[in-house]
A = this chain, B = another copy of it.
Amino acid sequence: MADLAELAGVSKITVSRALSESPLVNIQTRERVQALARKHGYKLNVSARNLRLRRSHTVAVIVEMKPSSGRTMWDPYPLSLLGGISHELTSAGYSVLLTTRQGAADAAVQAADGLILLGQGVRQDAVRLYDKVGLPMVVWGAADQGGDNHVVVGSDNRQGGISVAERFLSIGRRNPVFIGNPDHPEMAQRLFGFVDELAGHGIKPLLLRRNDFTLESGIDAVRSLHERKVRFDAIFACSDLLAMGAIRALVELGLSVPNDVSVIGYDDTPLGASFLPPLSTVRQNWQEGGVLLARKVLAMIHNQPVTSQMMATTLVVRAT
């Protein structure tokens, strides 16, 4: 900037003003300086500006990783959120700093103006860790009771569970099974909604715990039910892949879907819709969720009042 100032025959500060479109400089001066800047390929030093302005225009997105591997990054779930987040933040002139959580809070995170946390961590430990950083934070997941200085956005998992239960009841199912992992706070909410609604009609579903949410896992689940000679006529699977696996296993076993067993998945992935038969499922709009996350951090950064929000889910009844 000093070099530019010399070239243009003005002072540094005038250059600064010219480049930031300040109305304080004469239009001709401004254009002359801007032309020179382009010509010489001037590049603003973002660190310097951030230092002076005491902000970074950056939001850190922290993706919770399963301890085992980098597997989570492969799952479509955090990544679809990322789409919405990234779009919204860049539109607002903010940058997205992507971090995968590994161990302690990263130093780089502290450079951010705000945090978005995807995945609460087992027993909220991720949330607690980043709460300490003291930055505006928005967490994706299930609403929590703790009145901390952060806000939660998620889809209404409890309502999702309830809507599945209602559907099963309305078509006369009496022996439903829940497949998923209740340690996962979001799935726990689905389970609670499911169980509570059924309990109102004197029905107690079977809980089948699955840690993986893959097609294979769904196949396994149904096979194990069959081997244990469990009687069941409805399956609520916590992911579309689980559901599709379950259906495949059911068909192999000679059972008809949905005549013998109803199956409802979760997420409404594109694949479920084109599955044969088309999968019934609970839709949660992730792209929109990402946008919401982004808007909330931005609001917090600008000291506007922000509240937690659960997005509505929709039961999509197709053929299963």
Contacts and interface: CB of A to CB of B under 8 A. Distances in A.
A97 B100 contact: no
Nearest to A45: B51
Interface string A170-186: 00000000000000000
Contacts of A80: 73-74
A136 to B, nearest CB: 15
A84 B70 contact: yes
With most chain B CB atoms within 10 A of its CB, the pick from A41, A106, A108 is A108
A194 to B, nearest CB: 26
A312 interface: no
B108 A57 contact: yes
Nearest to A49: B47
Given A47-B51, A47-B111, A70-B287, A215 B248 contact: no
Contact of A107 (B46, B61, B79, B134): B46
A96 interface: yes
A260 to B, nearest CB: 19
Interface stretch (A123-131, A196-204, A221-229, A268-276): A268-276
Interface in A264-320: 270-271, 274, 276, 287
Nearest to A111: B46
Nearest to A112: B46
A270 B214 contact: yes
